[in-house]
């Protein structure tokens, strides 16, 4: 069930050659936005010289994680004060952002995130958020709930229980189409060696 959203993310980030590209994965809590961002980063690992995860839910974590990127890339010293270090990192991202993937995870809303996004350059940016309003700042990609058939396909593929199709469909429906809930259910069934119907 991940192939289509991964392809949408790749298309959105590939559209702007030589310029910063920003896409926002949005949807309900539990639909797997963070997991998809991580899967994309892993799938495209060879395409980037650096991938950096930023905790975007608060300004203080954003600042700390951006400075951490600067330290890791040798742009700023570990003991440099936060404000000048942050300014240096933002400037270097504009000048040397090509080949860098930034993942801003759990962003609350666009307005608070804007000052911490690259202002030019060629970095690639993925934002994950429950908020739907990203147009104008990022190319939005809505991550939807899984239909019953896709959820059942995932449960069967994950557990290897092709004979339990009816139970997989019933469980998928009970899980409300949330991909993360499907993963947890499959892992639980595997670990305890119980059927999908028993779960």
Of residues 144 and 168, more confidence is placed in 168
Task: Quote the tokens at residue 3.
Answer: 């192939």
Share of the chain above pLDDT 70, in %: 99
State the DSSP string of the chain: --HHHHHHHHHHHHSSTTS-EEEEEE-STTS-HHHHHHHHHHHTGGG-SEEEEEETTSHHHHHHHHHHHHHHTTSS-TTS-HHHHHHHHHHHHHHH-TTEEEEEEEE--HHHHGGGS--SSS-EEEEEES----TTTSEEEE-PPPPHHHHHHHHHHHHT-GGGHHHHHHHHHHTTT-HHHHHHHHHHHHHHT--TTT-
Region 36-45 average pLDDT = 92
> Are 103 and 41 within 8 A, CB to CB?
yes
Region 155-160 average pLDDT = 89
The answer, yes or no, to whether residue 1 has pLDDT greater than 70, is: no
> Which range is least confidently modeled, 98-102, 104-108, 122-126, 148-152?
148-152
Region 99-119 average pLDDT = 93
The answer, yes or no, to whether residue 190 has pLDDT greater than 60, is: yes
The answer, yes or no, to whether residue 185 has pLDDT greater than 80, is: yes
- Residue (of 69, 61, 109, 98) closest to 85 by Cα position: 69
Region 29-49 average pLDDT = 89
> Which range is least confidently modeled, 52-61, 76-85, 111-120?
111-120
């Amino acid at each position: 069930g991940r192939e289509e959203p991964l392809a949408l993310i790749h298309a959105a980030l590939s559209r702007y050659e030589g310029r910063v590209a920003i896409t926002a994965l949005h949807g309900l809590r539990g639909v797997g936005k963070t997991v998809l961002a991580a899967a994309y980063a892993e799938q495209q690992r060879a395409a980037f010289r650096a991938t950096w995860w930023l905790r975007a839910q608060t300004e203080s974590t954003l600042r700390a994680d951006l400075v951490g990127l600067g330290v890791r890339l040798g742009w700023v010293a570990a003991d440099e004060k936060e404000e000048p270090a942050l300014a240096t990192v933002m400037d270097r991202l504009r000048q040397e952002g090509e080949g860098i993937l930034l993942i801003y995870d759990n962003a609350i809303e666009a307005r608070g995130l804007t000052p911490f996004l690259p202002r030019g350059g060629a970095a690639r940016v993925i934002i994950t958020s429950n908020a739907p309003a990203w147009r104008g700042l990022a190319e939005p990609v809505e991550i939807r709930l899984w239909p019953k058939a896709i959820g059942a396909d995932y449960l069967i593929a994950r557990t290897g229980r092709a004979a339990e199709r009816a139970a997989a469909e019933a469980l998928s429906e009970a899980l409300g189409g949330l991909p993360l809930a499907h993963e947890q259910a499959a892992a639980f069934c595997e670990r305890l060696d119980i059927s999908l119907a028993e779960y």
